[in-house]
Amino acid sequence: MKKMIIAGAALATLGMVPSSALFASDEVLELKRRLDLLENRVEAAPRPEAEKSSITKGLAFGGLVEVEANYQDPSDSKATSDLTLATLELGLEAKVNPWLTAYGVLLYEQGENSENILVEQAYIRMKSESSPFFAEVGRLTQSFGSFESSMISDPMTLELGESKLHASVKAGYEADGITGSLSVFKGDVQKAGESEINSLVAAFSWQKEVDSFRYGFGASWTNNMADTDGLQDGFTDKKTTDFVGGWSANAIAGYGAFELRGEYLGACDSFTDGEYGGKQPSAWSVEAGYDFEAPFSLAVRYEGADDFETNDSRYAAALGWEVAEGAGLAFEYQRAENKADTADTDTFTMQLAMEF
């Protein structure tokens, strides 16, 4: 089934994942978060074959622009405010034949990656419509963690566990609501004295929908938790004496306009060196959302972390409004309650976004 967007298609561009995100097509599930939004958008507007030249035939494009204003009020210092181009994202899909497709996503985020445009994903996908098996080769976002959310801000599980920008080889299976995959890549964090392709990510998910009731669960594992984007800078020269594995589990249940989801992600054991030596980082998140009949949606989230950054817990609420088709406005309040030696912080964010 096609993806249903919270309060309409526009709110997907706000980073607000639709209530049926886990129950979309298997291909959308595998492409993950941002790339799936771009692909769905361009697939939803096919052009007659007669209007396509030999060059553009099989090509589809999409984009996303997000502008954010935020106000932060720490308990121990003066409040600050900012206005940023949070996201400019351009996506390409090139279908060579029914079983061979290339994907690419260029990403710009103000204040990130030295203000440069980043090749976030670029890979070739091989899958026949008659077979449930697939293979992907290129730069991929690893399938470690789910990170589904209907908020503007990212969940703490994503901040800890997301792993991007690795050239990888992935093989998997997807059919009847079941998706499983195994990928191998060369992680940025390596064992001392080594420089090898030695990092793995395995993932599994299952979803089902019966009338207005939907439910599902998923799990993932990596042998190199230190290589996640949230942890790798804590290791000197990105070297470690030994790999520590990581795992995640997530579940979702929804009925009609209401949805509840939760996720846990953490290291399997304590690290032996680096900034996290003797620590076992973990994060969890619980979120609920409701879609009103009018073009509005409401979501609330409560989350926490151990041995990771400064947050003991955070809670937040977000209201989304579909301004027009393909454009949305969202408001979010977040309260971060931090460890004893770090100030608590209130953050207000407004985001205007458009997809095309």
pLDDT digits (tens, 9 = 90+) for 289-306: 999 988 999 999 999 999
Three-class SS of residue 34? Answer: helix
Looking at residue 343, its pLDDT comes to 87
Question: Average of pLDDT values for 207-214?
Answer: 96
pLDDT digits (tens, 9 = 90+) for 127-186: 999 999 999 999 999 999 999 999 999 999 999 999 988 999 999 999 999 999 999 999
Against a cut of 0.75, is the pTM above it?
yes
Please tell me the CATH code under which domain 129-355 is placed.
2.40.160.10
Question: Average of pLDDT values for 60-72?
Answer: 97
pLDDT band at 56 (very low <50, low <70, confident <90, very high): low
Gap between the Cα atoms of 311 and 351, Å rounded: 23
Residue type, 139: R
Looking at residue 265, its pLDDT comes to 98
* Residue 106, token pair as written in the block: 């260029």
Strand 59-74 to 199-210 pairing: unpaired
| Surface-to-core class of residue 120, CB atoms within 10 Å of its CB (0-12 exposed, 13-18 middle, 19+ buried) | buried
pLDDT digits (tens, 9 = 90+) for 257-279: 999 999 999 999 999 999 999 99
- Write the DSSP symbol of residue 37: H
Least Cα distance to 177 among 203, 205, 202 occurs for: 205
Domains of the chain, by residue range, sit at 129-355
Q: What percentage of the chain carries pLDDT values higher than 90?
A: 78
Mean pLDDT, the chain, whole residue set: 87
Q: Is the pLDDT of residue 96 over 60?
A: yes
Question: Average of pLDDT values for 197-203?
Answer: 97
pLDDT digits (tens, 9 = 90+) for 13-49: 333 333 333 333 333 333 344 455 554 444 444 555 4
pLDDT band at 11 (very low <50, low <70, confident <90, very high): very low
